[in-house]
């Protein structure tokens, strides 16, 4: 008997009616002869509500107590789903993350899974139960509850699929699969029948919210076959797997984007070999993630370094740089907000070096100024004014023939 792990997101369990729908979907899979483990998120926006309550009490709530609080959201979902299945006549049991054997590193709020002890889950499966597991959570070695960061239920599901050697992991969400770009932004965005792990990982890291990056890493490392599907519509979704056949002659598989980007420039740094290491080590030590980096050497033995980051950490970043000014010995700092990042992604770009040139030509023809650029083998990212983000997405989507109106031959 094969095992399937299914994950249902917050919108899929946001009401009793939706939970009943999930129960029916789970029963369908069970009746097809599969053992089923289901991972659930908290209902709707309940995690946001819990976090808001915590911040109404304290400006800086304890990370431990915050984990204790927000981990309860998934426990509500798992219990209600187990009850729904039992009411329909099917044996079911719900387990918290720690009861399911999910062991994490000792970090509250954004812990990584270290291993999963599956004995308890296997025992329940052997007894004929459908097992419901609370996503987004686990337990540290110190027996403290830890949460896995936003989107952590995806990671819970894939990690369980890997540990249980499931034949497949199905991620059910409010969209029908992975699209060439967000269909809410581009009406003609096309659902992809398949996408590679590497492409999906780039898309997820670059702003596509359909899968959490850490879950894709798990899937790639343990060769877990994923399918992203709609929890409402009964149709095939998007397969995420190692090798994917090229659709027609498409060099670009999709376009990802994210708003709320700020560019910081540190002027007049000493032009020394250790300068970049010193600067970015300081930022890393303060848990500040930077993205696109550009260095420009001046003629007076100094250099300017620009980098982009999430606008939400601008204030903290400026404070850190000010604190270490004497150590870094820079002249001054400027910053520019209201920016966005638009990226093209596709494994076909490896053997087609002209893709970046085509991207810049398309943007130039639409009078969209590129402020920063970052590349890898399968992606090109550009920083543009946020006001030009949607025009950039639309013109690139059309130029690389990603529209649903274009015929595709697999």
CATH 3.40.1160.10 intervals, the chain? 3-174
pLDDT < 70 positions in the chain: 244-250, 404-410
Tell me if 101 sits within 8 A of 117, measured CB to CB. yes
Query: What's the CA gap between 308 and 261, in Å, rounded?
Result: 7
Enclosing H/E stretch for 240: strand 238-241
What's the pLDDT at 158? 97
Distance of CA 311 to the CA centre of its chain: 18
CA 33 to chain centre: 31
Q: Quote the pLDDT of residue 171.
A: 96
Shortest CA distance to 307 belongs to which of 347, 270, 339, 263? 263
CB 13 within 8 A of CB 24: no
CA angle (189 as vertex; 382, 176 as ends), nearest 5: 120
> How far apart (Å, rounded) are the C-alpha atoms in residues 151 and 41?
9
Q: What is the pLDDT of residue 406?
A: 56
Query: Cβ(180)–Cβ(397) under 8 Å?
Result: yes
For residues 131 and 103, give the distance between their C-alpha atoms in angstroms, rounded to a whole number. Answer: 18
Convert the pLDDT of each residue in 95-138 to its tens digit: 999 999 999 999 999 899 999 999 999 999 999 999 999 999 99
245-410: CATH number: 3.30.2130.10
3-state DSSP: the chain helix, strand, coil percent, rounded to 5?
Answer: 35, 25, 35
Question: Cα–Cα distances in Å, from 83 out to 91, 130, 172?
Answer: 10, 11, 20
Closest CA to 378 of 236, 248, 195, 178: 195
Cβ neighbors of 325 (< 8 A, separation 6 or more) are none
- Predicted pLDDT at 409: 42
pLDDT at position 372 is 95
Radius of gyration of the chain (CA): 23
Token reading at 97 = 């993350």
Residue tagged 């304290």 (tokens)? 58
Range(s) for CATH 3.30.2130.10 in the chain? Answer: 245-410
- Which residues touch 275 (CB under 8 Å, ≥6 apart)? 269, 303, 305, 328
- The neighbouring-strand residues paired with 194 are 239
Helix (H, G, I), strand (E, B) or coil at 344: strand
Q: Is-contact 147 108, C-beta < 8 A?
A: yes
CATH class held by domain 3-174: alpha beta
């Amino acid at each position: 008997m094969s095992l399937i792990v299914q994950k249902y997101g917050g919108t899929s369990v946001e009401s009793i009616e939706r939970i009943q729908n999930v129960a029916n979907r789970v029963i369908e899979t069970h009746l097809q002869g599969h053992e089923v483990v289901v991972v659930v998120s908290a209902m709707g926006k309940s995690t946001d509500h819990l976090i808001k309550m915590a911040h109404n009490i304290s400006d800086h709530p304890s990370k431990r107590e915050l984990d204790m609080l927000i981990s309860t959201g998934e426990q509500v979902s798992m219990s209600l789903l187990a009850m729904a299945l039992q009411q329909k006549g099917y044996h079911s049991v719900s387990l918290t993350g720690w009861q399911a054997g999910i062991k994490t590193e000792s970090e509250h709020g954004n812990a990584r899974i270290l291993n999963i002890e599956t004995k308890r889950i296997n025992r329940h499966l052997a007894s004929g139960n459908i097992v419901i597991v609370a996503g987004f959570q686990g337990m540290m070695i110190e027996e403290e509850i830890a949460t896995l960061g936003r989107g952590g239920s995806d990671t819970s599901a894939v990690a369980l699929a890997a540990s249980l050697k499931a034949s497949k992991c199905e991620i059910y969400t409010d969209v029908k699969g992975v699209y060439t770009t967000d269909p809410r932004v581009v009406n003609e965005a096309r659902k992809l029948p398949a996408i590679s792990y590497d492409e999906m990982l780039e898309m997820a890291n670059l702003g596509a919210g359909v899968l959490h990056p850490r879950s894709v890493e798990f899937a790639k490392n343990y060769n877990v076959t994923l399918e992203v599907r709609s929890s409402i519509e009964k149709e095939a979704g998007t397969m995420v797997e190692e090798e994917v056949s090229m659709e027609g002659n498409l060099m670009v598989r999709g376009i990802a984007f994210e708003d709320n980007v700020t560019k910081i420039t540190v002027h007049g740094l000493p032009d020394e070999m250790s300068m970049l290491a010193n600067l970015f080590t300081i930022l890393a030590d303060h848990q500040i993630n930077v993205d696109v980096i550009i260095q420009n050497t001046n003629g007076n033995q100094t250099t300017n370094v620009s980098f982009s980051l999430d606008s939400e950490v601008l204030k903290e970043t400026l404070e850190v740089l000010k604190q270490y000014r004497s150590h870094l010995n820079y002249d001054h700092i400027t910053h520019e907000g209201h920016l966005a990042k638009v990226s093209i992604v596709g494994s076909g770009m490896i053997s087609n070096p002209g893709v970046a040139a085509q991207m810049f030509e398309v943007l130039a023809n639409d009078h969209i100024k590129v402020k920063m650029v970052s590349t890898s083998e399968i992606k090109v990212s550009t920083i543009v004014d946020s006001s030009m983000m949607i025009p950039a997405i639309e013109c690139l989507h059309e130029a690389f023939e990603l529209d649903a109106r274009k015929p595709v031959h697999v």
